[in-house]
Chains A and B, each alone.
Chain A
Amino acid sequence: MSTETGQVHPISLYLKIWGLLFILSACSYAVDYFDFQGYLRWFLIITFMWLKAGLIVSIFMHMAWERMALVYAILLPPMFLMVLVGMMAIEGGYTTLTRILFFGPGSAPIVH
Protein backbone atom coordinates (compact mmCIF):
# COMPACT_ATOMS: atom_id res chain seq x y z
CA MET A 1 0.00 0.00 0.00
CA SER A 2 2.78 2.43 0.79
CA THR A 3 5.45 3.20 -1.76
CA GLU A 4 8.76 5.02 -1.63
CA THR A 5 7.01 8.20 -2.71
CA GLY A 6 3.89 8.36 -0.60
CA GLN A 7 0.77 6.96 0.98
CA VAL A 8 -2.08 6.01 -1.32
CA HIS A 9 -5.29 4.67 0.19
CA PRO A 10 -8.82 4.37 -1.15
CA ILE A 11 -11.02 7.44 -0.70
CA SER A 12 -13.79 5.25 0.71
CA LEU A 13 -11.57 4.61 3.76
CA TYR A 14 -11.21 8.34 4.36
CA LEU A 15 -14.95 8.84 4.02
CA LYS A 16 -15.64 6.10 6.59
CA ILE A 17 -13.18 7.66 9.06
CA TRP A 18 -14.73 11.07 8.39
CA GLY A 19 -18.14 9.62 9.28
CA LEU A 20 -16.76 7.97 12.41
CA LEU A 21 -15.18 11.24 13.55
CA PHE A 22 -18.53 12.96 13.05
CA ILE A 23 -20.29 10.33 15.15
CA LEU A 24 -17.66 10.50 17.90
CA SER A 25 -17.82 14.31 17.97
CA ALA A 26 -21.59 14.15 18.19
CA CYS A 27 -21.23 11.70 21.09
CA SER A 28 -18.85 13.99 22.98
CA TYR A 29 -21.17 16.93 22.37
CA ALA A 30 -24.07 14.79 23.66
CA VAL A 31 -22.13 14.26 26.91
CA ASP A 32 -22.40 18.00 27.48
CA TYR A 33 -25.87 18.43 26.04
CA PHE A 34 -27.40 15.76 28.28
CA ASP A 35 -25.30 17.09 31.15
CA PHE A 36 -23.62 13.89 32.35
CA GLN A 37 -21.61 14.64 35.47
CA GLY A 38 -18.95 13.06 37.67
CA TYR A 39 -16.76 10.14 36.72
CA LEU A 40 -19.10 9.08 33.89
CA ARG A 41 -18.52 12.45 32.21
CA TRP A 42 -14.74 12.25 32.57
CA PHE A 43 -14.65 8.70 31.32
CA LEU A 44 -16.78 9.46 28.23
CA ILE A 45 -14.95 12.67 27.33
CA ILE A 46 -11.51 11.05 27.60
CA THR A 47 -12.60 7.92 25.72
CA PHE A 48 -14.06 9.87 22.78
CA MET A 49 -11.04 12.18 22.77
CA TRP A 50 -8.51 9.34 22.46
CA LEU A 51 -10.62 7.50 19.88
CA LYS A 52 -10.77 10.61 17.70
CA ALA A 53 -7.07 11.37 18.17
CA GLY A 54 -6.20 7.77 17.30
CA LEU A 55 -8.27 7.82 14.11
CA ILE A 56 -6.79 11.12 12.94
CA VAL A 57 -3.18 10.09 13.62
CA SER A 58 -3.40 6.52 12.35
CA ILE A 59 -5.57 6.99 9.25
CA PHE A 60 -5.56 10.66 8.18
CA MET A 61 -1.89 11.12 9.07
CA HIS A 62 -1.06 7.62 7.82
CA MET A 63 0.77 6.50 10.97
CA ALA A 64 -0.81 3.05 10.63
CA TRP A 65 1.24 2.43 7.49
CA GLU A 66 4.52 4.12 8.38
CA ARG A 67 7.61 2.16 9.39
CA MET A 68 8.10 1.48 13.09
CA ALA A 69 11.25 3.63 13.25
CA LEU A 70 9.20 6.73 12.38
CA VAL A 71 6.16 5.72 14.46
CA TYR A 72 8.20 5.30 17.64
CA ALA A 73 10.33 8.40 17.02
CA ILE A 74 7.13 10.49 16.87
CA LEU A 75 4.69 8.77 19.24
CA LEU A 76 7.01 7.73 22.08
CA PRO A 77 8.26 11.19 23.22
CA PRO A 78 4.73 12.57 23.90
CA MET A 79 4.09 9.58 26.19
CA PHE A 80 6.61 11.08 28.64
CA LEU A 81 4.35 14.12 28.93
CA MET A 82 2.15 11.91 31.10
CA VAL A 83 4.88 12.22 33.78
CA LEU A 84 4.60 16.02 33.57
CA VAL A 85 0.80 15.83 33.77
CA GLY A 86 1.02 13.53 36.79
CA MET A 87 3.49 15.73 38.64
CA MET A 88 1.52 18.90 37.90
CA ALA A 89 -1.71 17.28 39.09
CA ILE A 90 -0.03 16.48 42.43
CA GLU A 91 1.46 19.98 42.59
CA GLY A 92 -1.92 21.55 41.80
CA GLY A 93 -3.63 19.54 44.54
CA TYR A 94 -0.97 20.58 47.03
CA THR A 95 -1.38 24.25 46.09
CA THR A 96 -5.15 24.04 46.59
CA LEU A 97 -4.74 22.47 50.01
CA THR A 98 -2.27 25.12 51.17
CA ARG A 99 -4.50 27.88 49.78
CA ILE A 100 -7.49 26.53 51.70
CA LEU A 101 -5.36 26.09 54.80
CA PHE A 102 -3.91 29.62 54.79
CA PHE A 103 -6.54 31.71 53.01
CA GLY A 104 -9.76 29.71 53.44
CA PRO A 105 -12.53 30.35 55.98
CA GLY A 106 -11.44 29.75 59.53
CA SER A 107 -7.74 29.86 58.72
CA ALA A 108 -5.52 31.33 61.39
CA PRO A 109 -4.58 34.99 60.88
CA ILE A 110 -0.98 35.42 59.81
CA VAL A 111 1.03 36.73 62.75
CA HIS A 112 4.29 38.47 62.11
Chain B
Amino acid sequence: MAQEELSPDGTAVALRDGWDGVVADWSADKQAFSVPWGKAMMWIFLLSDTFIFSCFLTGYMTVRISTTEPWPIPSEVFALNLFGQDIPLILIAIMTFILISSSGTMAMAVNFGYARERKKVAILMVITALFGASFVGMQVFEWSKLIEEGVRPWSNPMGAAQFGSSFFMITGFHGLHVSVGVIYLLTVAFKVNRGDYEERGYEIVEITGLYWHFVDLVWVFIFALFYLW
Protein backbone atom coordinates (compact mmCIF):
# COMPACT_ATOMS: atom_id res chain seq x y z
CA MET B 1 0.00 0.00 0.00
CA ALA B 2 1.62 3.25 -1.13
CA GLN B 3 2.36 5.67 1.70
CA GLU B 4 3.04 9.33 1.26
CA GLU B 5 5.53 11.69 2.80
CA LEU B 6 5.91 15.45 2.74
CA SER B 7 8.71 16.81 0.54
CA PRO B 8 10.64 19.86 1.79
CA ASP B 9 8.41 22.22 -0.19
CA GLY B 10 5.33 20.83 1.50
CA THR B 11 3.81 18.73 -1.31
CA ALA B 12 2.89 15.08 -0.80
CA VAL B 13 5.16 12.61 -2.58
CA ALA B 14 4.29 8.92 -2.93
CA LEU B 15 6.83 6.54 -1.36
CA ARG B 16 8.04 3.69 -3.56
CA ASP B 17 7.40 0.06 -2.55
CA GLY B 18 9.38 -3.20 -2.70
CA TRP B 19 13.14 -3.27 -3.34
CA ASP B 20 12.96 0.15 -5.00
CA GLY B 21 11.54 1.38 -1.71
CA VAL B 22 14.33 -0.25 0.32
CA VAL B 23 17.01 1.39 -1.83
CA ALA B 24 15.23 4.76 -1.86
CA ASP B 25 14.63 4.73 1.91
CA TRP B 26 18.23 3.84 2.73
CA SER B 27 19.98 6.07 0.20
CA ALA B 28 17.86 9.20 0.53
CA ASP B 29 19.15 12.00 2.73
CA LYS B 30 16.40 11.56 5.30
CA GLN B 31 15.33 9.19 8.07
CA ALA B 32 15.42 5.59 6.86
CA PHE B 33 12.41 4.28 8.76
CA SER B 34 9.10 6.07 8.35
CA VAL B 35 7.93 5.17 11.87
CA PRO B 36 8.13 7.22 15.08
CA TRP B 37 11.74 7.21 16.32
CA GLY B 38 10.75 5.49 19.58
CA LYS B 39 9.35 2.57 17.63
CA ALA B 40 12.48 2.22 15.50
CA MET B 41 14.62 2.32 18.66
CA MET B 42 12.46 -0.30 20.36
CA TRP B 43 12.81 -2.59 17.33
CA ILE B 44 16.58 -2.18 17.35
CA PHE B 45 16.69 -2.90 21.08
CA LEU B 46 14.58 -6.02 20.51
CA LEU B 47 16.96 -7.08 17.75
CA SER B 48 19.87 -6.91 20.20
CA ASP B 49 17.82 -8.85 22.75
CA THR B 50 17.13 -11.48 20.09
CA PHE B 51 20.87 -12.03 19.83
CA ILE B 52 21.25 -12.36 23.61
CA PHE B 53 18.51 -14.99 23.88
CA SER B 54 19.78 -16.76 20.76
CA CYS B 55 23.22 -17.02 22.34
CA PHE B 56 21.70 -18.52 25.49
CA LEU B 57 19.63 -21.02 23.52
CA THR B 58 22.54 -21.92 21.24
CA GLY B 59 24.75 -22.41 24.30
CA TYR B 60 22.07 -24.67 25.78
CA MET B 61 21.93 -26.66 22.53
CA THR B 62 25.71 -27.06 22.52
CA VAL B 63 25.99 -28.35 26.10
CA ARG B 64 23.01 -30.61 25.60
CA ILE B 65 24.52 -32.16 22.45
CA SER B 66 28.00 -32.47 23.95
CA THR B 67 27.17 -34.01 27.34
CA THR B 68 27.53 -37.76 27.65
CA GLU B 69 25.33 -37.87 30.76
CA PRO B 70 21.61 -38.49 30.15
CA TRP B 71 19.62 -35.23 29.91
CA PRO B 72 16.79 -35.00 32.51
CA ILE B 73 13.41 -35.49 30.80
CA PRO B 74 11.65 -32.08 31.03
CA SER B 75 8.24 -33.72 30.71
CA GLU B 76 8.86 -35.55 34.00
CA VAL B 77 10.90 -32.87 35.76
CA PHE B 78 8.16 -30.29 35.26
CA ALA B 79 5.22 -32.60 35.95
CA LEU B 80 2.81 -31.58 38.70
CA ASN B 81 0.75 -33.88 40.85
CA LEU B 82 -2.84 -32.68 40.45
CA PHE B 83 -6.01 -34.53 41.41
CA GLY B 84 -3.98 -37.57 42.41
CA GLN B 85 -2.04 -38.03 39.17
CA ASP B 86 1.09 -36.66 37.58
CA ILE B 87 0.26 -34.37 34.68
CA PRO B 88 3.31 -33.71 32.50
CA LEU B 89 4.42 -30.13 31.98
CA ILE B 90 1.06 -28.75 33.12
CA LEU B 91 2.43 -25.66 34.90
CA ILE B 92 4.47 -24.71 31.85
CA ALA B 93 1.40 -25.11 29.64
CA ILE B 94 -0.63 -22.82 31.92
CA MET B 95 2.20 -20.27 31.90
CA THR B 96 2.22 -20.40 28.10
CA PHE B 97 -1.51 -19.74 27.88
CA ILE B 98 -1.25 -16.88 30.37
CA LEU B 99 1.49 -15.20 28.38
CA ILE B 100 -0.46 -15.56 25.13
CA SER B 101 -3.54 -14.09 26.79
CA SER B 102 -1.49 -11.16 28.01
CA SER B 103 -0.35 -10.60 24.43
CA GLY B 104 -3.98 -10.57 23.33
CA THR B 105 -5.02 -7.93 25.88
CA MET B 106 -1.92 -5.90 24.98
CA ALA B 107 -2.84 -5.92 21.27
CA MET B 108 -6.30 -4.66 22.20
CA ALA B 109 -4.81 -1.90 24.37
CA VAL B 110 -2.80 -0.66 21.36
CA ASN B 111 -6.00 -0.54 19.35
CA PHE B 112 -7.92 1.45 21.96
CA GLY B 113 -4.93 3.79 22.24
CA TYR B 114 -5.25 4.90 18.64
CA ALA B 115 -9.02 5.13 19.14
CA ARG B 116 -8.13 7.52 22.01
CA GLU B 117 -10.16 5.64 24.63
CA ARG B 118 -7.59 6.07 27.35
CA LYS B 119 -9.54 4.49 30.24
CA LYS B 120 -9.85 1.22 28.28
CA VAL B 121 -6.15 1.38 27.38
CA ALA B 122 -5.16 1.75 31.03
CA ILE B 123 -7.45 -1.08 32.16
CA LEU B 124 -6.23 -3.45 29.44
CA MET B 125 -2.59 -2.64 30.20
CA VAL B 126 -3.12 -3.29 33.89
CA ILE B 127 -4.76 -6.64 33.02
CA THR B 128 -1.73 -7.43 30.82
CA ALA B 129 0.58 -6.54 33.72
CA LEU B 130 -1.44 -8.78 36.07
CA PHE B 131 -1.09 -11.70 33.64
CA GLY B 132 2.64 -10.98 33.54
CA ALA B 133 2.90 -10.84 37.33
CA SER B 134 1.08 -14.16 37.69
CA PHE B 135 3.48 -15.64 35.13
CA VAL B 136 6.44 -14.53 37.25
CA GLY B 137 4.69 -15.91 40.34
CA MET B 138 4.40 -19.34 38.73
CA GLN B 139 8.01 -19.17 37.69
CA VAL B 140 8.99 -18.48 41.32
CA PHE B 141 6.96 -21.55 42.30
CA GLU B 142 8.69 -23.63 39.63
CA TRP B 143 12.15 -22.44 40.68
CA SER B 144 11.56 -23.15 44.36
CA LYS B 145 10.19 -26.60 43.51
CA LEU B 146 13.28 -27.45 41.47
CA ILE B 147 15.67 -26.00 44.05
CA GLU B 148 13.93 -28.08 46.70
CA GLU B 149 14.46 -31.17 44.53
CA GLY B 150 18.17 -30.42 44.55
CA VAL B 151 18.60 -28.82 41.12
CA ARG B 152 21.58 -26.43 41.17
CA PRO B 153 23.38 -24.56 38.41
CA TRP B 154 26.30 -26.99 38.86
CA SER B 155 24.53 -30.30 39.55
CA ASN B 156 21.18 -32.05 39.83
CA PRO B 157 20.00 -35.49 40.88
CA MET B 158 18.32 -36.26 37.53
CA GLY B 159 21.26 -36.34 35.15
CA ALA B 160 23.46 -33.95 33.19
CA ALA B 161 24.73 -31.07 35.33
CA GLN B 162 24.30 -28.65 32.42
CA PHE B 163 20.52 -28.93 32.81
CA GLY B 164 20.54 -26.71 35.89
CA SER B 165 22.77 -24.01 34.49
CA SER B 166 20.78 -23.82 31.23
CA PHE B 167 17.48 -23.79 33.07
CA PHE B 168 18.32 -21.09 35.60
CA MET B 169 20.05 -18.86 33.09
CA ILE B 170 17.45 -19.04 30.31
CA THR B 171 14.27 -18.91 32.39
CA GLY B 172 15.88 -16.45 34.81
CA PHE B 173 16.76 -14.02 32.06
CA HIS B 174 13.31 -14.38 30.55
CA GLY B 175 11.64 -13.93 33.95
CA LEU B 176 13.70 -10.77 34.44
CA HIS B 177 12.34 -9.49 31.13
CA VAL B 178 8.77 -10.24 32.20
CA SER B 179 9.30 -8.49 35.55
CA VAL B 180 10.75 -5.41 33.88
CA GLY B 181 7.87 -5.55 31.39
CA VAL B 182 5.32 -5.53 34.20
CA ILE B 183 6.89 -2.39 35.67
CA TYR B 184 7.08 -0.79 32.21
CA LEU B 185 3.41 -1.64 31.52
CA LEU B 186 2.22 -0.25 34.85
CA THR B 187 4.22 2.95 34.38
CA VAL B 188 2.80 3.58 30.91
CA ALA B 189 -0.71 2.59 32.04
CA PHE B 190 -0.48 5.12 34.86
CA LYS B 191 0.63 7.89 32.51
CA VAL B 192 -2.02 6.95 29.92
CA ASN B 193 -4.69 7.13 32.58
CA ARG B 194 -3.41 10.55 33.71
CA GLY B 195 -3.79 11.82 30.13
CA ASP B 196 -0.10 12.46 29.46
CA TYR B 197 -0.40 11.30 25.86
CA GLU B 198 -3.53 13.19 24.82
CA GLU B 199 -1.45 15.71 22.87
CA ARG B 200 1.58 13.66 21.91
CA GLY B 201 -0.43 10.69 20.62
CA TYR B 202 -0.50 7.04 21.68
CA GLU B 203 2.50 5.53 19.82
CA ILE B 204 3.94 4.76 23.26
CA VAL B 205 1.29 2.08 23.78
CA GLU B 206 2.29 0.39 20.54
CA ILE B 207 5.98 0.62 21.52
CA THR B 208 5.28 -0.88 24.95
CA GLY B 209 3.27 -3.55 23.15
CA LEU B 210 6.26 -4.40 20.95
CA TYR B 211 8.34 -5.11 24.05
CA TRP B 212 5.61 -7.21 25.62
CA HIS B 213 4.95 -9.26 22.48
CA PHE B 214 8.68 -9.87 22.25
CA VAL B 215 8.69 -11.35 25.75
CA ASP B 216 5.89 -13.66 24.61
CA LEU B 217 7.85 -14.46 21.44
CA VAL B 218 10.94 -15.48 23.39
CA TRP B 219 8.79 -17.75 25.55
CA VAL B 220 7.54 -19.51 22.39
CA PHE B 221 11.14 -20.50 21.63
CA ILE B 222 11.99 -21.43 25.24
CA PHE B 223 8.81 -23.52 25.51
CA ALA B 224 9.60 -25.42 22.31
CA LEU B 225 13.36 -25.82 22.63
CA PHE B 226 13.84 -26.21 26.38
CA TYR B 227 10.63 -27.74 27.72
CA LEU B 228 9.33 -29.80 24.80
CA TRP B 229 12.54 -30.93 23.15
| Chain A interface residues (CB < 8 Å from chain B) | 1-2, 4-9, 11, 14-15, 17-18, 21-22, 25, 28-29, 31-33, 35, 41-42, 45-46, 48-49, 52-53, 56-57, 59-62, 66-70, 72-74, 77-78, 81, 84-85, 88-89, 91-93, 95-96, 99-100, 103-104
Contacts and interface: CB of A to CB of B under 8 A. Distances in A.
A33 B88 contact: yes
A13 B70 CA distance: 45
Contacts of B25: 67, 69
Interface of B: 1, 3, 15, 17-19, 21-22, 25-26, 32-36, 40, 43-44, 46-47, 50-51, 54-55, 58-59, 61-68, 75, 88-89, 93, 96-97, 100-101, 103-104, 106-108, 110-111, 113-115, 201-203, 206, 209-210, 213-214, 216-217, 220-221, 223-225, 227-229
A81 B114 contact: no
Given A32-B75, A68-B17, 10 more contacts: A2-B3, A5-B114, A14-B104, A25-B223, A32-B228, A33-B88, A45-B228, A56-B220, A85-B54, A103-B68
Contacts, number: 176
Contact of B58 (A31, A61, A73, A85): A85
B217 A53 contact: yes
A60 B128 CA distance: 14
Residue of B32, B63, B210, B217 with highest tally of chain A CB at under 10 A = B217
Given A7-B110, A53-B217, A68-B18, A21 B61 contact: no
Contacts of B203: 5-6
Given A28-B224, A56-B213, A18 B68 contact: no
26 contacts: A2-B3, A5-B201, A6-B201, A8-B111, A11-B108, A18-B107, A21-B104, A25-B97, A29-B96, A31-B228, A32-B88, A32-B227, A45-B228, A49-B224, A61-B209, A66-B35, A68-B18, A69-B21, A69-B26, A69-B32, A89-B65, A92-B65, A92-B66, A93-B65, A96-B68, A104-B68
A14 B108 contact: yes
Nearest to A61: B213
Contact of A99 (B47, B50, B66, B110): B66
Query: Sorted from nearest, which 9 A-B pairs have the closest CB atoms?
Result: A92-B65, A95-B66, A49-B224, A18-B104, A69-B25, A14-B107, A92-B66, A92-B62, A60-B213
A93 B164 CA distance: 21
A28 B221 CA distance: 12
B6 to A, nearest CB: 9
B68 A100 contact: yes
A18 B101 contact: yes
Contacts of B65: 89, 92-93, 95-96
B213 A69 contact: no
A67 B35 CA distance: 9
B228 A2 contact: no
Nearest to A31: B228
A31 B221 CA distance: 15
A81 B229 CA distance: 20
B58 A81 contact: yes
A92 B74 CA distance: 20
